Amino acid sequence: MRRNGFEKPFNPMQVGTWALLPLLLLQFLFFASPILPIAASIPCTIAIFACGFSAAYYAYWVCITDPIDWRLQRHLKEQEGASCDHDSNANRGCVDDNDTKFCWVCSTDVHQLSMHCKFCNKCVGTFDHHCHWLNTCVGKANYDYFVRAVGSTLSLVV
């Protein structure tokens, strides 16, 4: 079961993402910035690098945040014999209601909006999709970081 996007096996798209971002920044620095007038070169370079760093920062947080369904997390901790941590980030704002369904792969009840990801082999809370570019699932726990990463990347490219 993959906990975050930095665990093996790495996806070729993910490796391409982490190689392409610095390459785009260096390309702008060495090829586009020198041909601009100095009055435009400095602000444009600062803006491009700010967008690039914010895209990398938010993509990092998307990758390290585990979007596992909190019921599955509780089930796994109970199997290990550990007590359930009801104050973790995944549980914050969740109410243990009867809005569940059974995941036959995980062999436990999960939230109605959770889905099992075949790439990560776990149920993800409020599953949106599995992002191959970041090699992680996007769900409730990391959706805000994902939107910010996409917005930063969009502003970098535009």
Catalytic residues, by residue number, are: 131
* Buried b or exposed e, range 127-147, using 16+ CB within 10 angstroms: bbebbebbbbbbbbbbbebbe
Determine contact, residues 131/118, Cβ cutoff 8 Å: no
Sequence-distant (6+) residues with CB within 8 A of 142 are 61, 62, 65, 67, 136
- In degrees and rounded to multiples of 5, residue 90 shows phi and psi of -70, -25
